[in-house]
Structure 1
């Protein structure tokens, strides 16, 4: 079984030429400590200011049944935000490809294997679902709330600056979203495209300032999960809402999409949500 150090990106498969595995190997999963990127935001492990999950969909999932016949499915994974590790996306893809020529006695055996391996890599229990490729749960929907993208603003700054976030005195409860989220992979520099939803109750956010702030991630290099945590902590610090949910739905890449959400306790994202770009 392949062994990896979980404390550095220098050994990660991301950004490296990799041979696709021909056999199942749980050791291909590459965990990355969340604490490294949380520390600069003032987030302490064991005292997280949010609840949340990283929801993944894998569209290139296949294995052989007991007779050697291929089975295909779409997998949905949920990693809790309190898990000490996230899992690097390319390693996840390589791991799943190892199932392609591996025989399993049953669909449940595949689920049990995924549950065991992913929980071990993440350091916490995870949720796994295998969906049929035409499952209604994969139907395209729209983000709720009002879209910010038609605001006619001038933008000269493409790094996230919390000072763009301003509030008024009116207390509101509203849901806003934008499809202009873009960040970059911290290893390869490749663009990560997404949509972001913000639902809150508190002092009314200045919408032009909020859109400028979100556009500011355009040249920012970070993992999807940490971008969402960055947005959440900046909004909490600048706007001090009573309740807050930040959810990003990133565009699929390499057969995987990632949709992290972070929220104040008691908040959860609307379900189901699948966007046309995913």
Structure 2
């Protein structure tokens, strides 16, 4: 009778202390779980923001920046021949004005929908590439761009693939106009059953192409890394064959999977 009450009290105190420690441990685990979920959500938001920023930068580079570059080149050409050949100068200015109008339409579409304008009206990739080649020839002073289509698609071309290939073609032609000093360029779209390949070849000055598999950061400028990123996002590849004085061939291969 003398020993039992203290023993019961000791056991009860031990149980209470154990339960208190368990509750504290559970509360700490819950706090850690909540903190981890918050950190994970913040990381996902940062990654999503960076991905969206990269996507928007590529869209701006492939639409508005290229249009502005073409306008600058045409206006500089008009300025050079303004006194000697007024008709040619006026022609360059009119072409620059048409590019401005088209760029404005692209900017408005860019605000509402990032689908390329040439594909937004239901045109096929082949039609969009032919229109791009014709427009590039018209907007360039000394460059003629041709377009060829080889084979027929065995599988439906997904919208994302068509958009990516059109953007790559636009970026490649922008590089040709600004850096290559070429007189001719050729767009070739080849359907190969389970993949589609776009080749952009020019007879320009060429350059030291980065080796196969080299990080996109080693490529010059912003255009080539953006093209690498577009191809990589869709499981495709982008290769460049070039050497100083020997022109350049850029090839983008996109895999196609059966549609459900």
TM-score, normalization by structure 2 = 0.21
Report the structure number with the largest CA radius of gyration. Answer: 2
Pick 1 or 2: higher relative contact order, CA cutoff 8 A, min separation 6: 1
TM-score, normalization by structure 1 = 0.20
Which structure is higher in strand share? 1
